[in-house]
Structure 1
Amino acid sequence: MRRSAHMSRRTAALATTAALLTGLLAGCADDSGGSGRGGSGESADGKKTVTIGVFGVFGYKQAGLYDEYQKLNPGVVIKETSIERADQYYPQLLTHLGTGSGLQDIQAIEVGNIAETVTRHADKFVDLGREKGVDEKNWLDWKWAQATAEDGRTIGLGTDIGPMAICYRKDLFEKAGLPTEREKVGALWAGDWEKYVETGEKYMEKAPSGTVYTDTAIGLFNASVSGRVERYYDRDGELIHKDSPAVKDSWDLAMRAVEGKMTARLKQFDKPWDQAYANGRFATVACPAWMLGYIKEKAGPKAADKWDIAPAPKPANWGGSFLSVPEAAKNKEEAVKLAAWLTAPEQQAKLFRKQASFPSSPTTYEMPEVADARHEYFGDAPIGEIFSRAAEDMPTLVLGEKDLAIQTAFTDVGVLQVEQQGKSPEAGWAAALKNIDNLLDQ
């Protein structure tokens, strides 16, 4: 399951663009046949249509889960609307929550937006913790807690989490004179993201023509910062982004990669980034579990078995989402049933087997579908073992209301100004902080 993840919503500097997109995106949602048009949610043959709004690719359709549910429930039709980027999806969701119309029966919420949603909008969602078929014990404690408000309402059921690895091109590593076996590759950078950048410097010395070491400095920043418990907020809920060691260290690594010309200077989840996968433009990408399905789709059949997976330098958690049911949903009862079924341990295990979306349900970790999982596209890599180990030491991140927007300011404003516009690291940093200040003043 891939996430626009980490990329999330626009900051204040892009608020105007987001606002202009809202009408267009709302139209896309309505065209899906969903509940946004105020109908009964029933098709001509009397079947109930349950609409689900997501961002990126959650993998339910690709893994056959929608088809399976519809066979089990022949009176139900599922229609999904997907918006590529969460930074476009979330403003639309907030607009529809405000008006009480245009909402899908099920709405996905990205982990970086869950704190704000729980704090400010919990009353707009069904308390799923009280619904039949939902058992709190099926989720990691911290995952359940992320979607639970102070009054005890649990407004979202956890889908996946984002344990980190590094995906790399074996063929490009070989041409650059680097090892290709995953154990040896992992040893190149074990224990330190700085070693990952040092490996990039070695790669660039003998880089195959037309290639660079990694996709974006944004990906490096996100991967590094996602391995630290306190990033933008401390445990007391206070903002620390300006002086955060996690942010400063990750920024410095990203700038080092830019200055070393190691990156493809792309913006993640944009079309040129997708095309770069197909063209074999870069040799590595910071790779949470949900990224595997994305790489397979964008790199295509011709790159099968060229990619492999090695452990990340340090444990990190990048991404993860929730399924929620708005109180204004037209088919609320059926939506609750579907959300509970899609996030049940059995379905989470199936989704990992098919799409490599790592479960947020610890009861799945001993299931063969997870523990013994391998991924044929990535050289038959033992993804169950790799990501289970990564999840064992994965930090529980401190999240704040503007967590994802702050991160987006550092990446989509600060890093991009340096990486794509040629501005100095100091200018990029200042632009990111100014953007965040504007955001927090709203």
Structure 2
Amino acid sequence: MGLARHRSGSTFASVTAAAVTLVLVAGCSSGDSGKATTKDGKTVISMGLFGVMGYEESGLLDRYMEENPDITIEAEVAGDEQTYYTAFQTHLAAGSGLKDIQGIEVGRAKELVDTQADKFTDLSGTEGIDGYLPWKSNQVTAEDGKVIGLGTDIGPMAVCYRKDLFAQAGLPTDREEVANLWAGDWAKYIEAGRTFKEKSKDRKVSFMDTSTGLFNAMVYGADKQFYDESGELIYQDNPVVKNAWALATDAAKSGMTAKLRQFQTGWDPGLANSTFASTVCPAWMLAHISEKAGPANKGKWDIAKAPKGANWGGAFLGVMEKSPVKQEARKLVAWLTAPEQQAYLFEKLSIFPSSQKAIDLPAVANGTSAYFSDAPIGRIFGAAAKEIPAEQVLGRKDAGIKDTFSAGIQLVEQGRDADTAWDTTDERIKKLTR
């Protein structure tokens, strides 16, 4: 997907099959007519979602309808976020085709807050909104205090690695010892990669999938990334971005990557065929890895703490201002994003909560992953979440800029000179942000 960072387009077919009562709608929503839609005497709430946000796959929407028999939820799910957002922008401009509830990816939040806030219902008074991690609600809060969405998940990051492949290269396999290899410095992660490349007995196996994940982790652990507080672009001079580019392109030139950009062609087979030994992984990526790497690799994967905490991805649910069922939609959004439901999604799909109360619940705090060698994922990702800067500056084109940098780093993996690739990336970003 264009914005692969948010749960990709993984089907979770075995889980989705259980959610048989949902209706996927491609036509109009209740907001088009200006009056509430009813079906069999029930109020219909329409939702526009993308990727795998978990509500359909976990059965939460079915449960809500069971507990609220006067409500029917119709969810339209786009396979990838880029396709979803393009259509969403078209509907916003036209003032039609909008669902009652729309998903918002974090990379789009600033653009929507700055340019489309009037199209959303203000959710600032919703019960429990003060329970999010301090930086989460800030991402969808306008200057006048209007909140256009309630937080669903976040993407604290770790390093997923193959114990068996580390062992055959003479690297430690215990997750605490592995974390100590690169504690506090992403450059140490690259040094581990050099050791792996030198000592690995299987020359067909790369240390990591791609250095774009490394770039993302370094950039998204900083308070300022591509923009400053005034909305001006700073990526050209920001030492965080420049250092991330330098380290990522160094890794790209070293031959330690499999040149497989995450969620793009070849990456899923790479997981299944043990093509690489590690990948930088936000919490939401675990379900995708376990699905695509398959049962044969269960217990071979483990998870270690990343050198530094960072957040990659996350989303919100917003209620559209013109929805004729705003109150019913607000009630549904509040329920879906409540701590208990966030904890449930973590148990089912490793989707990490944005609610501090949910993070502290035993189901999350003590959560483990059988697929990843019983790794204490609640503790690992919870600790990473606490390291994320409390005030992160977002910009209108964050998502597009991130993807442009990823494409630029991939040029280096394919043999392009790093300086030339930077110039190409810079030119593309300037066109994107005009």
Please give the TM-score of this superposition, normalised by the length of structure 1.
0.87
Q: What is the SS of the residue equivalent to 2:58?
A: coil
Q: Do the aligned residues in 1 keep the contact of 2:45 with 2:73 (CA within 8 Å)? A: yes
- Call closer, same or farther: CA 1:130–1:389 in 2, change over 3 Å: closer
Q: Which residue of 2 aligns with 1:93?
A: 88
Q: Which residue of 2 aligns with 1:139?
A: 132
Q: Do the aligned residues in 1 keep the contact of 2:367 with 2:377 (CA within 8 Å)? A: yes
The structural deviation recorded for 1:62 is 2.7
Q: Which runs of structure 2 are paired with 1:398-413 in the superposition (5 Å)?
A: 398-412=393-407
C-alpha distance in structure 1 between counterparts of 2:262 and 2:189, whole Å? 19
Aligned partner letter, 1:99: A
Q: Which runs of structure 2 are paired with 1:335-414 in the superposition (5 Å)?
A: 335-396=329-390, 397-412=392-407, 414=408
Please, what is the CA RMSD of the aligned residues? Answer: 2.4
Q: What is the SS of the residue equivalent to 1:347?
A: helix
Q: Which residue of 2 aligns with 1:155?
A: 148
Q: Which runs of structure 2 are paired with 1:261-276 in the superposition (5 Å)?
A: 261-276=255-270
C-alpha distance in structure 1 between counterparts of 2:122 and 2:201, whole Å? 53
Q: What is the SS of the residue equivalent to 1:327?
A: coil
The answer to whether structure 1 residue 211 and structure 2 residue 176 are counterparts is: no
The structural deviation recorded for 1:113 is 1.2
The structural deviation recorded for 1:30 is 4.8
Farther-moved stretch of structure 1 (78-87 vs 68-77): 78-87
- Call closer, same or farther: CA 1:285–1:82 in 2, change over 3 Å: farther
Q: Which runs of structure 2 are paired with 1:69-108 in the superposition (5 Å)?
A: 69-108=64-103
The structural deviation recorded for 1:374 is 1.0
Q: Greater helix percent: which structure? A: 1
- Call closer, same or farther: CA 1:34–1:180 in 2, change over 3 Å: farther
The structural deviation recorded for 1:310 is 0.3
Match of 2:46 among 44, 51, 56: 51
Q: Which residue of 1 aligns with 2:304?
A: 310
The structural deviation recorded for 1:41 is 7.1
C-alpha distance in structure 2 between counterparts of 1:125 and 1:36, whole Å? 12
Q: What is the SS of the residue equivalent to 2:380?
A: helix
The answer to whether structure 1 residue 428 and structure 2 residue 421 are counterparts is: yes
The answer to whether structure 1 residue 440 and structure 2 residue 433 are counterparts is: yes
Q: Which residue of 1 aligns with 2:188?
A: 195
Cα deviations by residue, 1:233-283 (Å, 9 ceiling, x for unpaired)? 224433211111111111111111111112221232224222322222211
Farther-moved stretch of structure 1 (327-336 vs 206-215): 327-336
The structural deviation recorded for 1:418 is 2.2
The answer to whether structure 1 residue 5 and structure 2 residue 21 are counterparts is: no
Report the number of matched residues: 416
Aligned partner letter, 1:280: S
The structural deviation recorded for 1:35 is 5.0
Q: What is the SS of the residue equivalent to 1:318?
A: strand
The structural deviation recorded for 1:331 is 4.1
Cα deviations by residue, 1:13-37 (Å, 9 ceiling, x for unpaired)? xxxxxxxxxxxxxxxx853785587
Cα deviations by residue, 1:22-64 (Å, 9 ceiling, x for unpaired)? xxxxxxx853785587697757533344332222211223333
C-alpha distance in structure 2 between counterparts of 1:188 and 1:93, whole Å? 44
C-alpha distance in structure 1 between counterparts of 2:33 and 2:291, whole Å? 35
Q: Do the aligned residues in 1 keep the contact of 2:193 with 2:256 (CA within 8 Å)? A: yes
- Call closer, same or farther: CA 1:330–1:298 in 2, change over 3 Å: farther
Q: Do the aligned residues in 2 keep the contact of 1:36 with 1:101 (CA within 8 Å)? A: yes
The structural deviation recorded for 1:6 is 5.9
- Call closer, same or farther: CA 1:326–1:316 in 2, change over 3 Å: same
Q: Which runs of structure 2 are paired with 1:163-242 in the superposition (5 Å)?
A: 163-205=156-198, 206=200, 208-242=202-236
Q: Which residue of 1 aligns with 2:276?
A: 282
Q: What is the SS of the residue equivalent to 1:173?
A: helix
C-alpha distance in structure 2 between counterparts of 1:32 and 1:359, whole Å? 32
Q: Which residue of 2 aligns with 1:293?
A: 287
C-alpha distance in structure 1 between counterparts of 2:258 and 2:29, whole Å? 39
Q: Do the aligned residues in 2 keep the contact of 1:197 with 1:257 (CA within 8 Å)? A: yes
Q: Which residue of 1 aligns with 2:114?
A: 119
Q: Do the aligned residues in 1 keep the contact of 2:25 with 2:75 (CA within 8 Å)? A: no
The structural deviation recorded for 1:176 is 2.0
Q: What is the SS of the residue equivalent to 1:78?
A: strand
Q: Which residue of 1 aligns with 2:63?
A: 68
Q: Do the aligned residues in 2 keep the contact of 1:5 with 1:86 (CA within 8 Å)? A: no
Q: Which runs of 4+ in 1 moved over 4 A?
A: 32-44
The answer to whether structure 1 residue 243 and structure 2 residue 232 are counterparts is: no
- Call closer, same or farther: CA 1:366–1:130 in 2, change over 3 Å: closer
Aligned partner letter, 2:424: A
Q: Do the aligned residues in 1 keep the contact of 2:162 with 2:301 (CA within 8 Å)? A: yes
Q: Which residue of 2 aligns with 1:321?
A: 315
Q: Do the aligned residues in 1 keep the contact of 2:129 with 2:150 (CA within 8 Å)? A: no
C-alpha distance in structure 1 between counterparts of 2:235 and 2:104, whole Å? 23
Q: Do the aligned residues in 1 keep the contact of 2:153 with 2:354 (CA within 8 Å)? A: yes
Q: What is the SS of the residue equivalent to 2:148?
A: coil
The structural deviation recorded for 1:322 is 0.7
Cα deviations by residue, 1:96-153 (Å, 9 ceiling, x for unpaired)? 111112222221111121111111100011112235xx33222223211221111221
- Call closer, same or farther: CA 1:6–1:68 in 2, change over 3 Å: closer
Q: Which residue of 2 aligns with 1:24?
A: none
- Call closer, same or farther: CA 1:45–1:279 in 2, change over 3 Å: farther
C-alpha distance in structure 1 between counterparts of 2:265 and 2:32, whole Å? 30
C-alpha distance in structure 1 between counterparts of 2:345 and 2:310, whole Å? 21
Aligned partner letter, 2:98: L
- Call closer, same or farther: CA 1:369–1:212 in 2, change over 3 Å: same
Unaligned runs of 5+ in 2: 9-23
C-alpha distance in structure 1 between counterparts of 2:204 and 2:66, whole Å? 48
Aligned partner letter, 1:370: V
